[in-house]
């Protein structure tokens, strides 16, 4: 795919269901594809993507805002939007020119791509992928590098936790955040059951993880589940 095009599965207006901007009205642009394969992923797999140019996407965002706005911001989500960093370099200036704020939802593993677009982003909602939660490898080095760039803008870190999550992973996440800035909000998000996956952790486990964060001075730590699932919105 050329840098001037991106494969996008949907563009729609809804309400942010995760993290510190929960409840904010947003336009969501869902990019197709991801560089990871988390066990708890709730992104529809196999959803058909459509090729968008920057101009066509801008037009669609403008139309949605006209009929459903005003919106707090435009959420670039996925999949992993930074897989399309070259496209974003062209698209984000258009968004900014028309007065929209950009909100990047990212798995936090592609620091070089973030560096290319950070000046054009307003808010970074970054995941720390805990290996015991995802069932995959560790990305501590990438996450640390990524967070050091993201902190130039408004940023918060989110980690999905499951019944498999080890407290050593939570301790390491907290240690890295504290090393960058202990005021960065850290959101502990219990995994929502999806398809055949059901590993939502219990209350005691969530409280233990929250205590680890707070006792290690990451003072803006919270437990927040995926609220859009509870509300029954997309």
Q: Which residues bind ligand SF4 (CB under 6 A)?
A: 34, 36-38, 41, 43, 78-80, 107
The smaller minimum CB distance to ligand SF4, of residues 43 and 220, is found at: 43
The nearest distance, CB 142 to ligand SF4, in angstroms, is 12
Q: Rank residues 73 and 133 by Cβ distance to ligand SF4 and give the closer one.
A: 133
Name which of 170 and 216 has its Cβ closer to ligand SF4.
170
Report in angstroms how near the CB of residue 33 gets to ligand SF4 at its nearest.
9
Smallest distance from the beta carbon of 29 to ligand SF4, in angstroms?
14
Whether the ω angle into residue 76 lies within 30 degrees of 0, i.e. cis, is no
Q: How far is the CB of 34 from ligand SF4 (least distance, A)?
A: 3
Closer CB to ligand SF4, 42 or 116, in the complex: 42
Collapsed DSSP state (helix, strand, coil) of residue 187:
strand
- Using alpha carbons only, give the angle 226, 133, 114 rounded to the nearest 5 degrees: 75
- Minimum CB distance to ligand SF4 smaller for 194 or for 214: 194
Provide φ and ψ at 59, rounded to 5°. -60, -40
Nearest to 189 by CA among 145, 221, 159: 159
* Shortest Å distance, C-beta 183 to ligand SF4: 25
Cα–Cα nearest to 191, from 154, 147, 222, 226 = 226
Reduce the DSSP state of residue 119 to 3 states and report it. Answer: helix
Give start and end residues of each alpha helix (H) in 11-139: 54-68, 85-97, 111-117, 131-134
């Amino acid at each position: 795919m050329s840098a001037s095009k991106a494969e996008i599965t949907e563009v729609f207006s809804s309400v942010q269901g995760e993290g510190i901007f929960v409840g904010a009205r947003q336009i969501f642009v869902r990019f197709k594809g991801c560089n990871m394969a988390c066990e708890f992923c709730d992104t529809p797999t196999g959803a058909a993507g459509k090729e968008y140019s920057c101009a066509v996407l801008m037009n669609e965002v403008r139309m949605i805002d006209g009929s459903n706005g005003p919106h707090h911001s435009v959420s670039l989500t996925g999949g992993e939007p930074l897989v399309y960093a070259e496209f974003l370099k062209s698209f984000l200036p258009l968004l900014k020119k028309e007065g929209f704020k950009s909100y990047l939802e990212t798995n936090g593993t592609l620091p070089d791509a973030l560096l290319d677009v950070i000046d054009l982003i307003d808010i970074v909602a970054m995941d720390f992928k805990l290996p015991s939660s995802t069932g995959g490898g560790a990305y501590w080095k990438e996450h640390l590098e990524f967070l050091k760039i993201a902190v130039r803008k408004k940023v918060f870190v989110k980690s999905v936790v499951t019944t498999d999550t080890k407290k050593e992973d939570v301790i390491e996440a907290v240690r890295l955040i504290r090393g960058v800035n202990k005021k960065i909000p850290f959101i502990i998000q219990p995994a929502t059951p999806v398809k055949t996956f059901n590993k939502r952790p219990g209350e005691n486990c969530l409280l233990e993880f929250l205590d680890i964060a707070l006792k290690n001075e990451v003072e803006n730590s919270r437990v927040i589940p995926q609220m859009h699932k509870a509300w029954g919105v997309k």
